């Protein structure tokens, strides 16, 4: 079976992995991506439009192609790549994705980029400890999620692996586990709120 083509990379490239169902994508998502690019000094950030969140119902979730098109409308940055890589690789869980990417691109410095709301529940992700020991993680603050993220089981488990925000640019070069909490101006938008305002579930 032929492995699906990955976005182009060069050895040593610093690539952020920013996944989500993006239903719908919004300015808050774009803000997270831009902060990660700036603070981590990434060469690329891959917006990974997932088949669906295993922790959430897929009822009413638009198909991947519709969400890809919607993400391209908000991911305006020359270093942003919008892709359905998880669908093409056949991975549903983040742990499977990072395992495959590390095997397929061993010389690329991948960083997992997630919002603080996801870090707060990271301990519910399949293989979460292995994820943290496989790739460095950048946690970008989100409205209302600061305390829960910093008090989360993941934050406590890997407390000794946290680096100062001012050292964020070092993160892609560090051996995992390593993580940073990135603060900044927070955009008070969420996909669930947007769906509710549009009369969707």
pLDDT in tens, 59-73: 567 788 899 999 999
In the chain the domains, ranked by start, together with CATH numbers, are 14-197 (3.40.50.620)
Cis peptide before 24 (omega within 30 of 0): yes
The residue written with tokens 């719908």 in the block is 24
pLDDT of residue 196: 47
pTM higher than 0.95 for the full model?
no
Residue 31 three-state SS: helix
With beta carbons less than 8 A apart as the criterion, state whether 187 and 194 touch. no
Phi, psi values for residue 163, rounded to 5° = -110, 160
Q: With a cut of 80, say whether residue 198 has pLDDT above it.
A: no
pLDDT of residue 141: 93
The residue written with tokens 């917006």 in the block is 47
pLDDT of residue 63: 84
pLDDT of residue 54: 58
Counting residues of the chain whose pLDDT is more than 70, the rounded percentage is 85
Ranked by mean pLDDT, the top range of 29-33, 58-62, 185-189 is 29-33
User: Distance (Å, rounded) from C-alpha 120 to C-alpha 189?
Assistant: 18
pLDDT of residue 59: 53
User: What does the mean pLDDT of the chain come to?
Assistant: 88
pLDDT of residue 13: 98
Residue 200 three-state SS: coil
Q: What is the mean pLDDT of residues 39-58?
A: 81
Q: With a cut of 80, say whether residue 192 has pLDDT above it.
A: no
Residue 32's closest CA among 139, 147, 175?
Answer: 139
User: Distance (Å, rounded) from C-alpha 161 to C-alpha 27?
Assistant: 30
């Amino acid at each position: 079976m032929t492995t699906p083509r990955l976005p182009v990379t060069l050895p040593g490239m610093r690539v952020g992995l920013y996944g989500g169902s993006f239903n719908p994508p919004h300015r808050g998502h774009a803000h997270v991506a831009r902060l990660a690019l700036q603070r981590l000094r990434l060469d690329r950030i891959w917006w990974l439009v997932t088949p669906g969140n295993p922790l959430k119902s897929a009822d009413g979730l638009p198909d991947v192609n519709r969400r890809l098109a919607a993400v391209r409308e908000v991911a305006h940055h020359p270093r942003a790549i919008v892709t359905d890589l998880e669908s093409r690789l056949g991975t549903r869980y983040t742990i499977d994705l990072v395992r495959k990417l590390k095997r397929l691109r061993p010389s690329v410095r991948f960083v997992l980029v997630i919002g603080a709301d996801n870090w707060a529940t990271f301990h519910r992700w399949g293989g979460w400890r292995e994820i943290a020991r496989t790739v460095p993680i950048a946690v970008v603050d989100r409205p209302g999620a600061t305390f829960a993220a910093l008090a989360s089981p993941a934050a406590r488990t890997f407390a000794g692996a946290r680096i100062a925000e001012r050292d964020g640019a070092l993160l892609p070069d560090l051996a995992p586990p390593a993580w940073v909490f990135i603060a900044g101006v927070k955009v008070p938008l969420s996909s669930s709120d947007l769906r509710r305002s549009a009369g969707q579930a």
